[in-house]
Structure 1
């Protein structure tokens, strides 16, 4: 199945969920126009308290819709936007991408910066969901399943149904880590 955008979402206020939209506009170096997390510097409320001048490596949040299918098998109903993502994808293993991968989404392009680190708010949304999306393995390794974060490298409009192009970064591949 080709990789494509399944849904797009945004929220002008800092809430856990983001509302579905017919399209979103990505602005280079800034994020999703009209979204509370857009900005050249960090916008996540917890991170702003630590260092409001830090660069915003979380301008766009992407989640693969296949996660929703996996969660449904475990008794959780999750729809696009429910976990706060701006772009819901299908047909692309986001978690396997290397840091620096460029994704073409419609007319726009983003560069993957790292993994989203899920927090307690996920259990506020649905009790027990955090342990489903933040898995600890026997060796102590933690697997984060709630998608990837990116910065906008070329602005443009993104709509459901848009094809997703993938370009690996040059040089040695670096695995994703939380940002």
Structure 2
């Protein structure tokens, strides 16, 4: 039986979390009075007691909450979860939004043991409805229905907060309207090729998103790097997608000829480059959106007949 073994919160970041008997969860925000709650994709963190035991076996005197997790679980196979899966606990639905984490600063646990389990085995989720969770509550896991999607906006100004990203939300809305999407993650980055290559590898290899859509940086300006980064990480190219998008855009403007947008696959993830304007991005996706689910199904091993 999977259940909540401990609940832990802290009012400030960077301090040890305190065990509590119950917590109040707020839709699309997180746990009330916890410093890590907010309008982002890591609203609630989970870690299994089985993972903590691995650190105890290394000789560390650690317990629930010492890894800054909000919910410590017992009897649940958290390591089998995928982005988009659902955890239901105490009547509250959490959609898994991130697997593990990148630690930019080593914690006390790492320095004591030379290792830390949270970056590999911690799980994060977003809150779908208000509710209260208590220690001892049982929880269930439901596998995802639909596609997990990551939308990456490439904008030097946007990454500095000097411009509001309108294209990322437009892309996300279009995909949610036209496809069955279980979770969407939005990121804004500068036009830096190495950073984008690293992000694409991370989203495909570690987070295992079904679909990654980049917008912007597809032309011939010195800072236009999306196609170059994409070509460096994909394993197979899908020129049919690219040709269809450019051909349709060319019906409206000859500037479509300047686009170097690339579409390809890495592992079991489909990567699509689209233009940086909201209108252009949506128009490009409109051409190929109906082919996306079947493409991903085949990419992930479906044996279904391709014939209509």
Question: Which TM-score applies when normalising by structure 1?
Answer: 0.76
CA distance in 1, matches of 2:62, 2:46: 14
How many residue pairs match? The answer is 153
Counterpart for residue 68 of structure 1: 52
Shift in Å, 1:102: 0.8
Gaps of at least 5 residues in structure 1 are: 41-55, 135-143
The CA deviation at 1:118 is 5.0
**Contact 1:122/1:129 (CA < 8 Å) preserved in 2?**
no
* Cross-structure match for 1:147: 122
**Tell me, what secondary structure is at the counterpart of 2:128?**
strand
Between the aligned partners of 1:150 and 1:26, the Cα distance in structure 2 is 12
Contact residue 122 and residue 130 of structure 1 kept, 8 A: no
How far 1:107 moved relative to its partner? 2.3
Change over 3 Å in CA distance of 1:158–1:165 after alignment to 2? same
Kindly indicate whether structure 1 or structure 2 has the higher relative contact order, using CA contacts under 8 Å at least 6 residues apart: 1
d(CA) in 2 for partners of 1:114, 1:35 = 18
Question: 2: distance between equivalents of 1:89 and 1:98?
Answer: 17
**Structure 2: which 5+ residue stretches go unaligned?**
149-203, 209-308
Look up the match of 1:119. Answer: 103
Within the alignment, does 1:157 sit opposite 2:141 as a pair? Answer: no
Task: State the Cα distance separating 1:76 from its structure 2 match.
Answer: 1.4
Q: Does the alignment pair 1:9 with 2:8? A: yes
Provide the alpha-carbon RMSD of the alignment.
2.4
CA distance in 2, matches of 1:121, 1:79: 21
Higher Rg: 2
What is residue 45 of structure 1 aligned with on the other side? none
Query: In structure 1, which of residues 110, 113, 133 is the aligned counterpart of residue 117 of structure 2?
Result: 133
The whole-number CA distance in structure 2 between the counterparts of 1:117 and 1:69 is 19
**SS of match in other structure, 2:111:** coil
Structure 2 CA distance for partners of 1:84 and 1:130, relative to 1, 3 Å:
farther
Q: CA offsets, 1:94-146, max 9 Å, x none? A: 12111111111112111001123152655424524452538xxxxxxxxx434
Aligned to 2:207: 177
**SS of equivalent residue, structure 1 residue 154:** coil
Q: Could you state the TM-score of these two structures normalised by the residue count of structure 2? A: 0.46
Shift of 1:175: 7.9
Please state if 1:26 is matched with 2:56.
no
Alignment check: 8 A CA contact 1:3 1:89 kept: yes
SS of residue matched to 1:157? strand
Please name the residue that 2:72 is paired with.
88
**Structure with the higher helix share, 1 or 2:** 2
Q: Is the 8 A contact 2:109 2:116 kept in 1?
A: no
Deviation at 1:69, TM superposition (A): 1.3
Is 1:103–2:87 an aligned residue pair?
yes
Q: Distance in 2 between matches of 1:89 and 1:161?
A: 9
2:106 and 2:45 map into 1 onto residues whose CA distance is 15
Q: CA deviation at 1:15?
A: 2.2
Q: Tell me by how many angstroms 1:153 deviates.
A: 0.6
